[in-house]
Structure 1
């Protein structure tokens, strides 16, 4: 049975709930809820397991804090013997407008500390689903922006994004990277 590791990046703890930096956690929470599965506290993170048409999925929300996300990713790839081509990292992105989603097969970390740490440990050849959080902040205000909570109207804007993110994860697993990029990138 093919195994996949789907990682949502974020920071653990109630104080980070619904913050822009936790967009990855939000999409994985929605996936788990729709699949009727729950996360369990395991090594380096919260893990939920499910299967999708004969494929085994491990959903991982690292508990390592954003800047050490690579530790959790490397551990679970190794533990479950999952190749990096079956890894998908869901991550917030300042460069995309709020609610936009972009799937890429590899690339730079774009200044994102979570992606940067993953790249240090496993390289840059893995898929990432970038979730737009916008960048409506004054110069020097980036940290306050990403660690700030989504406003009520932003959460409403994100609802269809989160649903689309769940569909993109399923498509990545079932149809592969290229088909999913062609089908979803640039839409919505």
Structure 2
């Protein structure tokens, strides 16, 4: 059994903000797999099966900074280990549209993750980060940015990333953490650059082989004895 936890803030005023992408992803999962939300303790949960795995989707109702209180209660209630949970949340240090799966790590300054680490007494739990980028306007402070609503173009990119994150969860449940990280943590731009680098290296190797072959041919030609023009002349007595 797995707990799949989306982090966010309850309430209509926060519903469409960048900070609530974790809620958006688990809402997508609940819709896709026809799971119904109900209250348990200080969280909304939706239970069911995704693939072959029993899953409980979670939205803490304690507000972001106290997410660990609700998650800690559920982990103890279901008698789970930290590696039986997957936490989905917004990440400033990832560009919009990118997602990353990690096995463990620090909070990176994210208050929701700080709270989870504090209440679970470990940072050894998987997390799926959804990039929201940093503000391009340096006069916007981080709090106002994450609690802000993205514009229309950015909203489209965010929805694409949320869909990618929702698609990654069944992969994680089926294939496991390491295999899924290998599948989804590939940066398309970095992959394209790496492919171009491999192509250029191959071209250089081919050019070097051709150059060496031509050099060997020249050396072989230079080593042949030249015919003396008088060799074939008849000699007279």
TM-score w.r.t. length of structure 1:
0.95
Instruction: Tell me what 2:174 maps to.
Output: 174
Q: 3-state SS of the aligned residue for 1:81?
A: coil
Tell me how far apart the structure 2 counterparts of residues 149 and 140 of structure 1 sit (CA, whole Å).
13
Instruction: Tell me what 2:89 maps to.
Output: 91
Stretches of 4+ aligned residues off by more than 4 angstroms: none
Gapped runs of 5+ residues in structure 2? 189-237
Instruction: Compute the displacement of 1:160 (Å).
Output: 2.3
Instruction: Compute the displacement of 1:139 (Å).
Output: 5.2
Instruction: Tell me what 1:55 maps to.
Output: 53
Deviations 1:7-63 (A, max 9, x none): 000000000011010010011111111111221122111100111233210000000
Instruction: Compute the displacement of 1:151 (Å).
Output: 1.5
Instruction: Tell me what 1:145 maps to.
Output: 145
Gapped runs of 5+ residues in structure 1? none
1:9 to 7, 10, 29: 7
* C-alpha contact (below 8 Å) 2:7/2:20 kept by paired residues: yes
TM-score w.r.t. length of structure 2:
0.76
Q: 3-state SS of the aligned residue for 2:138?
A: coil
Tell me how far apart the structure 2 counterparts of residues 160 and 143 of structure 1 sit (CA, whole Å).
23
Structure 1 window deviating more from structure 2 (130-139 vs 15-24): it is 130-139
Tell me how far apart the structure 1 counterparts of residues 52 and 33 of structure 2 sit (CA, whole Å).
15
Instruction: Tell me what 1:18 maps to.
Output: 16
Between Structure 1 and Structure 2, the one with more helix by share is: 2
Matches within 5 A, 1:1-188: 3-122=1-120, 123-136=122-135, 137-138=137-138, 141-187=141-187
Q: 3-state SS of the aligned residue for 1:148?
A: coil
* C-alpha contact (below 8 Å) 2:33/2:50 kept by paired residues: no
Structure 1 window deviating more from structure 2 (138-147 vs 102-111): it is 138-147
Please tell me the root mean square deviation across aligned C-alpha atoms, in Å.
1.3
Tell me how far apart the structure 2 counterparts of residues 81 and 150 of structure 1 sit (CA, whole Å).
38
Tell me how far apart the structure 2 counterparts of residues 13 and 129 of structure 1 sit (CA, whole Å).
23
Q: What is the total number of aligned residue pairs between the two structures?
A: 186
Tell me how far apart the structure 2 counterparts of residues 36 and 54 of structure 1 sit (CA, whole Å).
15
Structure 1 window deviating more from structure 2 (137-146 vs 40-49): it is 137-146
The structure, 1 or 2, with the larger RCO (C-alpha pairs under 8 Å, 6+ apart) is 1
